[in-house]
Each structure stands twice: as structure tokens, then as C-alpha cells.
Amino acid sequence: MPRFKTILVTGGAGYIGSHCVVDLLNAGHDVIAIDNFANAVGDEEGSPALKRAEQITGKNIVFYEADLLNKPQINDIFDKHPIDCVIHFAALKAVGESMQQPLLYYQNNLLGMLNLLEIMRSHECYQMVFSSSCTVYGEPEYLPITETHPTGSITNVYGRTKYFIEEMLKDLSAADEKWNIISLRYFNPVGAHPSGLIGEDPTKEFTNLMPFMAQVALGKKPVLTVFGNDYNTPDGTGIRDYIHVMDLASGHVAALNFLGSNQVRLKVYNLGTGRGVSVKELVEVFERVTKTKIPLKYVDRRLGDITAMWADASLAKEELGWSTKLTIEEMCKYKTGCGIIKPFNITQ
Ligand SMILES: NC(=O)c1ccc[n+]([C@@H]2O[C@H](COP(=O)([O-])OP(=O)(O)OC[C@H]3O[C@@H](n4cnc5c(N)ncnc54)[C@H](O)[C@@H]3O)[C@@H](O)[C@H]2O)c1
């Protein structure tokens, strides 16, 4: 039996949360999921994505439509359930929107986290896995990026919310040794569960490469806009470290296991493959796997976008015993961002 039985998953109806819930249930945890549907589909029965996660695993999820900004509501959930550990995914994450509405982002992401930590402390729950991001590194000073690379020199509000939260967690864990927190800095999550039943299905307008490309493949958008083909990279397009969402999910289970047998106060790990792939390369693989032609339109670089970023993922391998297993081809196999997610077949 896992050391932490009951896991509260905030933002559980979202993209990464819903995939992680599948792995948590398969690993024998009980899952309480909450989401306010700011960026996930909800209906009168709750979260369709989590219903499909139940279908995949044959296990039940307790779900609450709840907002981290509503402290009494979250407090009630902690009163009702003996929560052993929290995986905190809930956040707003659109870089462009964060520049236009900074207060919304600071309020949701920072205040949401503050409320959660206070409620956890009052219920003597000190175990947490936090969703951070490689954006905290800003423009890389060297590659691949290790966890010791400086953070904080960030060009967008969304990234700053992650950075401020990490700083807050440093202060908190320094002040009270009971806290046991792992902050996972994700690189670029893409792909979907192999069942095709869940995937990336946001309700807000998105510009992420993979769901955008899937929409072009399905004829829902005419062309794929590529921001910049004059970067100092072999083919001129930006380079990122794309990681399959199911590999990312297994990284959370590994982090939970580690917290279960180590008192770390606060540790930070990169979750990436350790390999950089250009936008053009990713499009070529997608075209090959899905047998679809993706028309491209090159436009100017976006302000604040960086040239190249990939992880040194060796620390997570050494200490958590985790590494990625799935290939770029696997990442391209499923339609994502299209409402219903299922494998591409050869004729499409
Ligand atoms: N997807 C990425 O590229 C990426 C990269 C690095 C880090 N992250 C981080 O990982 C986490 C999950 O990302 P995702 O891609 O699954 O995003 P997502 O938008 O699909 O999921 C986040 C979920 O949190 C919910 N939420 C937001 N604010 C809330 C609040 N106040 N109360 C309750 N629920 C709330 C949203 O409705 C959404 O379902 C986020 O913290 C994000 O910043 C994502």
C-alpha cells in the first residue's frame, strides 16, 4: 500500500491533472480532485475528463467543483477527508493572457496557493507536490539546464507567479521543518493517454503547438502559425524539450513515493527528456505519424519567447528513480485539443 493513501489533486480536471489521476489510481491511491472549471470542461455531473479517467482505471474519483480562492469551500473538503498529500496543479497558465491581466494571475495563482498552504497547515497536512515550470529559468545561461541554474529573470507574469511561489515555498520550508515539498519544473508537456479517452482539452483560447497542430490536421484551423524562423538554431525555429504527459504523470507518482520515505523540506526537480526538438522537427514527425500535411505560416517572434531550452533530467533519475520512456512519435499519435480525443488513423 502506498505510504500516502489519499491525495488531493487541485486542478484535477485539467490536462496534466486528469492524466496524473489515472497513474495515481493505478498506483493504489485514493483521489479527491477539485477544479473550478476555469480552463476545463465541466457539466452537471462534474468533469467529463475525470469520468473518462474512472472508465480507464475502473476506479472511483471523489470530485468537487471548488475554487481555491474560496477558502471555506476548500476548508470543508479538508474537514471531510483525511488528506495525506496534495498535488497542486491548479493555476492559470496562458502567458499572453497573464501579460494582459496580471492581477488575475497574481490573485489566482499566488492567493490560491496561500489559501491552500494555510488550510493544509491547519489540518496538519505538510506533504505537497507543486507544478512549477521551466519558465522560472528565463533565458538559459547554459544548456542543458540543471536545477541549479539561476531563476527569476523571467519575461512574463505567468512565469513570475511560479517563481514567486517557489520563493514562498523556500521561506515556508526554512521556517518549519514539518513541510515536505517537491517542486517539479515541467518542460513542454504534450500528447495524451493511449486510450485516446483523455487529452488536452482547454476551454480558453490556446496557442500551444500540439493542440494547435491537431486542429490544423482536423481542418478546424487553416494553418499552423510558427512564431519565428530566424532563431540561432539549425533550422531557425525554437527548440524545446517536449515530454509525453504520461511520462510527466509517472514523475508525480515517483515524487510522491520519494516524499513518502524522505523528509526533504523542499526539493526541486526538472521533468524533461533531456533532448531538444525544434518546432520544425516536431511538425515533421507529426506529419509522418498522422499522415497529414500541416501548412505553416511563419510570423515574427513573440516577445519574451526564448531560443532554445532543454532539461538536464539526471537529478530526477538519480534521486526519484524516474526517467522518460515515450518517444516524440508517441507524443504525436493522438488528437488533442479537439474535444473528443482519439488516435489518428491512417486515412485521416
Ligand atoms: N501545460 C504546460 O505546458 C505546463 C508547463 C509547465 C507547468 N505547467 C503547470 O502545470 C499545471 C497544470 O497545467 P495544465 O496544462 O494541466 O493546465 P490546465 O489549465 O489544463 O489545468 C489547470 C486546471 O486548474 C484549474 N484551476 C485554475 N485555477 C483554479 C482555482 N483557483 N481553483 C480551482 N481550480 C483552478 C483549471 O480549471 C484547470 O482545469 C499548472 O500549474 C501549469 O502552470 C503546465
Calculate how far, in angstroms, residue 158's C-alpha sits from the geometric centre of ligand 1.
Answer: 11
Say how far apart CA 52 and CA 102 lie, in whole Å: 34
Mean pLDDT of the region 108-126: 98
- Tens of pLDDT, residue by residue over 19-67, are 999 999 999 999 999 999 999 999 999 999 999 999 999 999 999 999 9
pLDDT of residue 343: 60
Tell me which of 35, 165, 246, 247 to substitute to probe ligand 1's pocket, judged by most ligand atoms within 8 Å of the beta carbon: 35
CA-based nearest residue to 24, from 52, 49, 2: 2
Is the Cβ–Cβ distance between 249 and 20 less than 8 Å? yes
Q: Are residues 30 and 6 in contact, defined by beta-carbon separation less than 8 angstroms?
A: yes
Which 8-state DSSP code applies to residue 27?
T
Beta bridge partners of 244: 190
Measured in angstroms, how far is the CA atom of residue 6 from the centroid of ligand 1?
21
Whose cell is 547554459? That residue is: 142
pLDDT at 203 (0 to 100)? 77
pLDDT, residue 304, reads 77
Neighbour-count burial of 31, counting CB atoms closer than 10 A to its CB (0-12 exposed, 13-18 middle, 19+ buried): buried
* Ligand 1 contacts CB of residue 36 (under 6 A): yes
Query: Catalytic residue numbers?
Result: 158
pLDDT digits (tens, 9 = 90+) for 55-100: 999 999 999 999 999 999 999 999 999 999 999 999 999 988 999 9
Contact 64, 105 (CB under 8 A): no
Q: What is the mean pLDDT of the chain?
A: 93
296-325 pLDDT per residue, tens: 999 999 877 899 999 999 999 999 999 999
Looking at ligand 1, which atom is closest to the CA of residue 201? Answer: 20
Q: How far apart are the CA of 298 and the centre of ligand 1, in A?
A: 28
- The per-residue pLDDT for 346 is 34
Tell me what the mean pLDDT of segment 154-161 comes to: 94
- What's the pLDDT at 334? 75
Q: In which band, very low, low, confident or very high, does the pLDDT at 345 lie, cut at 50, 70 and 90?
A: very low
Beta-strand pair 277-278/239-240: antiparallel
Burial profile 292-324: b = 16 or more Cβ within 10 angstroms, e = fewer: bebebeeeebeeeebebbbbbbebbeebbebbb
C-beta separation of 201 from 341 below 8 A? yes
> Of ligand 1's atoms, which has the minimum distance to the CA of residue 186?
6
- Minimum-distance ligand 1 atom for the alpha carbon of 158: 43
Evaluate if residue 348 carries a pLDDT over 70.
Answer: no
Distance in Å from the first CA to the final CA of the chain: 44
Q: Over the stretch 182-201, which tens digit does the pLDDT of each residue have?
A: 999 999 999 999 988 898 87
Does the pLDDT of residue 251 top 50, yes or no?
yes
- Distance from residue 321's CA to the centre of ligand 1 (Å): 25
State the CB neighbour count (10 A cutoff) for residue 186.
22
Domains of the chain: 6-190+242-271 (3.40.50.720), 209-240+275-331 (3.90.25.10)
Quote the pLDDT of residue 5.
96
pLDDT of 105 reads: 98
- Indicate if ligand 1 lies below 6 Å from the C-beta of 133: yes
Q: Which pLDDT belongs to residue 3?
A: 83
221 or 313: which carries more pLDDT confidence?
A: 313
Pocket test for ligand 1, best of 131, 156, 201, 243 (most atoms within 8 A of CB): 131
